[in-house]
Amino acid sequence: MNAETRICQNCQQKFVIEPEDFGFYEKIKVPAPTFCWLCRAQRRLAFRGERRLYKRKSDFSGKEILSMYAPEATVKVYEKDIWLSDSWDPMKYARDVDFSKPFIQQVAELIREAPLKNLNIVGNAPNSEYTNHITDPKNSYLVFNSNHPEDCGYSNGITFSKGCYDVSYAGKSEWCYQAFWINSCAHTIFSSHCEGSYDLMFCKDCVGCNNCIASVGLRNKQYHIFNEPYTKEEYEKKLKALDLSSYKNLRELAKKARAFWLKFPNKYIIGTHNNTVSGNYIEHSKNVKYSFLVREGENLKYCQYVQELPGSKDCYDYSIWGDNNRWVYECCACGINTANIKSCVFVMIDAHDIEYSYACSSSSDLFGCVALQKKQYCILNKQYSKEEYKDLVEKIKKHMDEMPYVDKRGCIYKYGEFFPAEISPFAYNDSVAQEYFPLSREEILANGSQWSEPLERDLKITLSYKDLPDKINEVKDSIKDEVIGCEHEGKCEDGCTIAFRIIPDELDFYRTMKLPVPRQCPSCRHWQRLQQRTSFRIWKRKCQCTGVASENQIYKNTAEHAHKAAHCPNEFETSYAPERPEIVYCEQCYQAEVA
């Protein structure tokens, strides 16, 4: 098979289907896609409501519950314990296939009639009511897309971590704050891209380090400040003088540290212990291409957020989760021992051979089903024999080609295409899609998706951020009773909640870590932290090493490179956009500087 160039239905841009892609599609028996891989990712992520939680009435008990589905969402929602029980029967929503209308339309109707689970929490969740898309949390608050967090708050993408607040994408870490993409770290604050380190402040790309401040690109170092070495006594004296329990001092150091980071080269891809990978934020993986935020993956392509352990294998176009999955294609938020699932959302836990289904678990051989558990050979929630099921599935696939779903923009969805974003039960700006593919209200509505207006909060601000004490030792217990006005005052584009509170465990954390209380609401802190993250887009670029210095002459090389004084000839694909300020080196030039 040869590579083939096509025009994406959605963005009208050219995209290439490689021979290995055709090989994968042939193995799992689906046609090649008609959307480019970025547009495919966008529509999948539109089905992932993650960080917004709403109060709404249970459609089972009538009591007020917390839900990821907004009150105005046209779906039925049951509380988790009821949804998982035998108190109701999802098979009562069964219906025959109607060959007079598109099959995807019939699935969309079923999604709005069969009850859905209010929150996606797997396992037990003691003292962790305000969490979602999470496995076995303990004493955690507003933590999302995580696995086994304990004593954590305001975080996302954390795995087997404890005592972390305002952290994104951390594995096996403890007592960290405002950190991004760290692994096996402790007491690491305002730092990113660090591994196997502890007692770091405002550090970037440090491995095997401890007791470092405002440093970058260090390996197995200690007692460094702005990359300069100190004795233990000198370091401790400097640290005391910095007095980072002061918000004013902390903010000044943050500004200086981030400016300092820009003076050093970055490797074109962030990740360690990899073999043949492309994209960004990839660890301990093999043959992972055009993918992002992946841990322990193998033979993956066009995947995002597949970072739960153990890793996943042989998957294409798989967004969010992981945990030992095989042959997953065009799925969102599916995980834990799944195999051969296609075009599914929230299909999980020992599930296999399932297509076009939503919120099903521990099942197999389902097509177009919603909210089923421990079922087999079902179509639109109706039970069939094995033979009937297989015959009818083939008829449906043919029908999907002959009478495809057509969205409001005119895009055509035949068999093999994922659900159109317009049938998602989540408003587009409530979904993860808005984080990576931001659209205006007008664009969202024009595309046929839903728009969620900002919540009107009946909160009276009792304390301005301007009146917060500068130092943590000046903060009184009464702050837990205050409604604090966010520094952004709702004027940013970070989903500002305008006001926020300090919860008791959070205050204890700041006191233990000797950190000042924040001036921004959790939403603004989340968005500001994620500004460090690159996009999913890939650019072809040249190494910016000119032999003795970087192209912009800001960084002076410390070692002789193989190309000596000439400009490095290496080219690569990277998610660092050309307009970004970072200096970007190829693997060889980068390693020469950090070795």
DSSP secondary structure, 576-588, as one string = S-TTSSSEEE-HH
Helices vs. strands in the chain: H and E counts, helices first: 12, 38
Q: Decide: 295 and 305 in contact? Cβ < 8 Å.
A: no
Task: With beta carbons less than 8 A apart as the criterion, state whether 448 and 422 touch.
Answer: yes
Q: If we measure between CA atoms, which residue out of 394, 341, 297, 314 comes closest to residue 97?
A: 394
Residue-wise pLDDT for 119-167, tens only, equals 999 889 999 999 999 999 999 999 999 999 999 999 999 999 999 999 9
Q: How high is the mean pLDDT of the chain?
A: 95
Distances (CA, A) of 68 to 7, 118, 146, 273, 457: 35, 6, 15, 36, 17
What residue spans of 407-497 are helical by DSSP H? 433-436, 441-446
Instruction: For residues 146 and 134, give the distance between their C-alpha atoms in angstroms, rounded to a whole number.
Output: 5
**393-447 residue pLDDT tens:** 999 999 999 999 999 999 999 999 999 999 999 999 999 999 999 999 999 999 9
Banded model confidence at residue 532, pLDDT cuts 50, 70, 90: confident
The pLDDT > 70 percentage for the chain reads: 99
Amino acid symbol at 151? D
DSSP 6: E
Residue 255: φ, ψ to 5°: -65, -45
Spatial distance between the Cα atoms of 322 and 556, rounded to a whole number of angstroms: 41
Mean pLDDT in residue range 75-82: 96
Split at pLDDT 50, 70, 90, the class of 249 is very high
What average pLDDT does this structure show over 294-320?
94
Q: What is the mean pLDDT of residues 293-297?
A: 93
**Nearest partner of 254 among 207, 198, 214, 217, judged by Cα:** 214
Place of tokens 């808005």: 434
Average pLDDT of the segment spanning 461-478 = 96
Q: What is the CA radius of gyration of the chain?
A: 25
**What is the arithmetic mean of pLDDT over 499-508?**
96
pLDDT at 41: 98
With a cut of 80, say whether residue 458 has pLDDT above it: no
- Write down the pLDDT at residue 454: 74
Supply the pLDDT for residue 481.
96
Over residues 83-102, the pLDDT tens digits come to: 999 999 999 999 999 999 99
Burial (CB count <10 Å: 0-12, 13-18, 19+), residue 254:
middle
Round to whole Å and give the CA distance between 241 and 257: 16
Q: Which two tokens stand for residue 215?
A: 């440093």
- Mean pLDDT value across residues 210-228: 97
Residue whose C-alpha is closest to residue 332's, from 45, 104, 69, 134: 45
- Mean pLDDT, to the nearest integer, of 6-34? 97
Apex CA 133: angle with CA 129 and CA 138, to 5°?
45
Return d(Cα 176, Cα 162) in angstroms, integer: 8
Per-residue pLDDT, 60: 97
Our CA dihedral for 391, 404, 380, 349, rounded to 10 degrees, sits at 90
Q: What pLDDT does residue 595 have?
A: 65
Mean pLDDT for the stretch of residues 11-16: 97
Structure tokens, 399: 């029908």
Do residues 193 and 205 lie in contact, with contact meaning Cβ atoms separated by under 8 Å?
yes
CB 213, CB 203: distance < 8 Å = yes
CA dihedral 459, 245, 192, 257 (to 10 degrees): 110
pLDDT confidence band for 371 (50 / 70 / 90)? very high
